[in-house]
Structure 1
């Protein structure tokens, strides 16, 4: 009987890359339609490995697939996967942190900032409806000698910092418990706690993983510390931000604007998410990572992790580690 590698939540044009790389292992790559519930599909297929993006994968899905040996996340964040349940079942979980999208994501962070700061969507809409001179009708703060605040300081944040500096930002503050202060200072970055970043930064760009300690790290209290000219950019995880608190601050003019690529619930429901009605807010569809090149590399590296598991090896980017001899 042919073994199966299941793709949950298929979202790419095709899976020829995965099929080619896994052919020598004698497996069939099966894309499960998003309309099909995960657990019944897994029970039907009993895959040896699963590839997935944002779809939740917990104890129920693990129990439905007794032959499962590995789960690989297309991308970096693994907050949608029950790592402890997988560890208990002896199932490897891996991510793909190095598929080269730091350039795409940092570009997107800067693009969101510029669109919000220059009010590009609103001005475009005004011009298309016959308006003119909209730059005089709405406040656009100058950004000379501006301060950038980064929450998280990995590869994407580093790339973003370089691009913001090129725009004239003269000072960079960063908070990342995993990066020593001495390393930050060597790169010309000032270590700062989140409160200080919220008080001092003109633009705050989020690049942290979503874990217990970062859930709603930008909450109502910290939003209240921000300046009326502050812009918040989130290209990391929606759960980093208290969305109703952010929407309220935007509606009341307590901060200038926000550029949001990620949401706490995805896809977001416009009627239920107050950010859809918030002024000077630019929203995109969790696509900051995307380019044709990044997709090809992501699919390749994810398939290679599955191949390692099928060959009896631990994955290179094994995230739910247990002791090995």
Structure 2
């Protein structure tokens, strides 16, 4: 019987079918550490990894039976995909279940930052009746009639475009490859260069994967190309943004604000961002919904079963 190792402590409901077919090892009450997985991995055929668990060359070389790495995430920069593929190991991810929740959080950050929702909530709680609430206080920005620039028009980018259009926004986008005219017409979006996107957009949303090419795609020069009234939204990956440059741009008024669900240096933002009223911060909660977490586990299971039995599609990550 094939042996499956799951590195993370997750709702077991989503793994029910996988457990019925194979020998599956789960951690109990906590995630496995890298050192624990390193010791265990030689006996396993499939590794189910979390998005922050490193599947590197060292681990792969220590796994003689390993046939597949099934990542619990749409992103896979935690995995040395090129080396895994070179060694004949299939890598998969879970793009389907994360699409709608991530697009929702991006739209939420747009609305929150533009209308200063979190800022006003925080001030009411801390200042009470000392908070200024006059008709010309706490003025925000509209989103209807404004231009949203989407960087990365994959599943999540397309889902966000639909939501933005429903809110009356104009949508431009930049992508590694331009969509076909039929898709652009259906979505109501316009392809532009990256430079034009920065210059035209009232909101810039990052929905691209993290690759060597997208590292610091928003740097000091990119921020200076944006409107001084623009808001930056990042629900993709933290290192897409040079966070030090972002702090400087916000302090100097180069852009108006930011809504961030991911951070460059791990789980927490730079301290300077915590003190800024024009920044909304959430701790990578884009897919933090119980139903989504269970569905992602089912997607991992489907990828593993589809690979081992060939009875269903596998969301394969191709060699970069």
> Residue 234 of structure 1 aligns with which residue?
234
Counterpart position of 1:133: 133
Partners in 1 of 2:89 and 2:185 — Cα distance?
40
In structure 2, the residue matched to 1:289 is 287
Q: How many Å separate the matches in 2 of 1:145 and 1:95?
A: 36
Query: Secondary structure in 1 aligned to 2:172?
Result: strand
Tell me what 1:80 maps to.
Answer: 78
Name which of 98, 104, 108 aligns with 2:105. 108
Matched residue of 1:259: which SS?
Answer: strand
- For 1:32 and 1:65, locate their aligned partners in 2 and report how far apart those are by CA, in whole Å: 22
What value does the CA root-mean-square deviation take over the aligned residues? 2.6
Per-residue deviation, 1:3: 5.4
Deviation at 1:143, TM superposition (A): 4.2
In structure 1, C-alpha distance between the alignment counterparts of 2:277 and 2:33, rounded to whole Å: 37
Quick check: 274-283 or 53-62, which moved more?
274-283
**Equivalent residue, structure 1, for 2:179:** 180
CA–CA distance in structure 2, aligned partners of residues 38 and 263 of structure 1: 22
Cα separation, 2, equivalents of 1:256 and 1:36:
42
Deviation, 1:193, is 1.2
Q: Which residue of 1 aligns with 2:37?
A: 41
**For residues 96-245 of structure 1, what are the structure 2 equivalents within 5 Å?**
96-99=94-97, 101-128=98-125, 129-130=127-128, 131-133=131-133, 136-169=136-169, 171-180=170-179, 182-183=181-182, 185-187=184-186, 188-245=188-245
Q: What SS does structure 2 have at the residue aligned with 1:51?
A: strand
1:122 positional shift: 1.6
1:69 corresponds in structure 2 to 67
**Aligned ranges for residues 4-83 of structure 1 at < 5 Å?**
4-8=3-7, 10-12=8-10, 14-25=11-22, 27-31=23-27, 37-46=33-42, 47-54=44-51, 55-83=53-81
Question: Greater CA deviation, 286-295 or 177-186?
Answer: 177-186
Structure 2 unaligned spans of 5+? none
Distance 2:91 2:245 in 1: 34
Unaligned 5+ runs, structure 1? none
Q: Given that residues 123 and 135 in structure 1 are in contact (C-alpha distance below 8 angstroms), is that contact kept between their aligned partners in structure 2?
A: no
Which string of whole-angstrom CA distances, capped at 9 and with x for unpartnered residues, describes residues 137-193 of structure 1?
A: 444234452111110112222221222222221x21111123336345423211111
**Range 135-144 or range 296-305, more displaced:** 135-144
CA drift at 1:7 = 1.8
Count of residues paired in the alignment: 314
Q: Which moved more, 1:192-201 or 1:141-150?
A: 141-150
Change (3 A) 1:39 1:68: farther
Comparing 88-97 with 192-201, greater Cα deviation is found at 88-97
Secondary structure of the residue aligned to 1:307 is: helix
* 8 Å Cα contact 1:251/1:279 also seen in 2: no
The answer to whether the Cα contact below 8 Å between 2:119 and 2:277 also exists between their aligned partners in 1 is: no
Distance in 2, matches of 1:50 and 1:159, equals 30
Contact 1:18 1:29 in 2 (8 A): no
Residue 222 and residue 44 in structure 1: after superposition, are their counterparts in 2 closer, same or farther (change >3 A)?
same
Structure-2 separation of matches of 1:184 and 1:215: 27
Task: List per-residue Cα deviations over 1:88-131 (Å, max 9, x = no partner).
Answer: 222111112222x3221111111111111111122112212212
Alpha carbons 1:92, 1:315 under 8 Å: kept: no
- TM-score w.r.t. the length of structure 1 is 0.87
Residue 299 of structure 1 is matched in structure 2 by 297
Q: Is the 8 A contact 2:9 2:27 kept in 1?
A: no
Q: After TM superposition, give the deviation of residue 230 of structure 1 in Å.
A: 0.6
